[in-house]
Structure 1
Amino acid sequence: MDLVSTILKSMTSDSSLGALAGKTGLSADSIEKAISSAIPSLVGSMTKNASSAAGAKSLLGALSQHEDKSDVSSQIKNADEADGNKIIGKIMGDGKDDFISSIAKMAGINVGQSNAILSSIAPALLSSISAAAKPDTEESVAAEKAAKKAKEEEAESSFLGGFFSKFMKDEDDKVEEPKKSGKGGFDVSDGIDGSDLLAILKNTML
């Protein structure tokens, strides 16, 4: 399982959703929609921010301050929301307010509730990435294996698409090759799985 999927799984577990429901009064469904929309975007922005040497070092500094090893639901329940709000600001920069509003719209909640969810999950997000970025940990090994498998499957899919297109298309019924997913957006379907971020962080640690 890749990094983004692993984080989503832990943050949308019954216990994590319950912790957020207790803090916000929202339904588990609304909270899950918010988290599922937010995590790929946050990881995408962190990847972009870390693409420079200064950005990568800054992120590593933040990760070193967030190494909570307790379960994610406990981290969410006990989250310092003021710290979480600052984290969201660091990740999204000038786009923070628009980001919070967009998550609110997608989840069908108000801006204050969106902010509360994001501020509660942000510290746990950094802790999860911190654990995965450390070499030879169970989390990092699993993330690397998942990323390698995903790339192999994408390559195989592209090859098969080209193969069948070559032998099956004709003038009346042309078979197009599968479109490769780009990295312009922050959706998981657009390639944001966290592997690029982990690679940057590990290279910076060397």
Structure 2
Amino acid sequence: MTLTRGATTYAYGATAKVTVHLSRPGTTVSVYAKPYGGTKTLLKRAATDAEGNLVVTTPVKVRTTFTATYAGDADYDAVTRTAAVAVRARVTATVTRVVGTSGSYKLVRVGSSPRVYGTVRPYHTGQCVSFQGQEPTGSGWGYTQSSGCVKLSSSSNASVYFGSSWTRGSRLRMRVIWGGDTRNAKATSSWVYLKFVS
């Protein structure tokens, strides 16, 4: 018996797929899932198809271990196989004090001290995120700066704000990076583009 993963890493909330293959088609197998820190539960107990396969899918939000078991019979011993999938956290970045948009840019007023919020799901309260910013260069984006550790609040949010030094026409982009742990894999938000206006 083999237990094959559809992917080694899934996005938060995505549907994971595992395929059990047994050399005896039409034989009943059981497939279980155990999320990290959670309870092992039965997903499906059914016979394999004519080719000896049984496909099982389930949404995943944290690292999850799948177990497939065949109980055995008078001719064959019982068999158990396990496989784990990693799950990336969902990290998002949002901007406050937005007064409009221009293409991909969020427009914010000079001196309004906008904040960029980073949110991590599922909750990872007390852990660090970093905010990474870049400014335009002649060939793209550069002058990269990072905030260092900013701890997530009890609601798994964190933020940084911009002071009054930014001038009209200044542009930058920001993203939020979370480093991962045993429950979820490392994840990075999409870039958020900002432009300062009068």
TM-score range normalised by the length of the shorter chain:
under 0.3
Please report the TM-score for the alignment, with normalisation by the length of structure 2.
0.20
**Larger proportion of helix:** 1
**Larger proportion of strand:** 2
Please report the TM-score for the alignment, with normalisation by the length of structure 1.
0.20
Q: Which has the larger radius of gyration?
A: 2
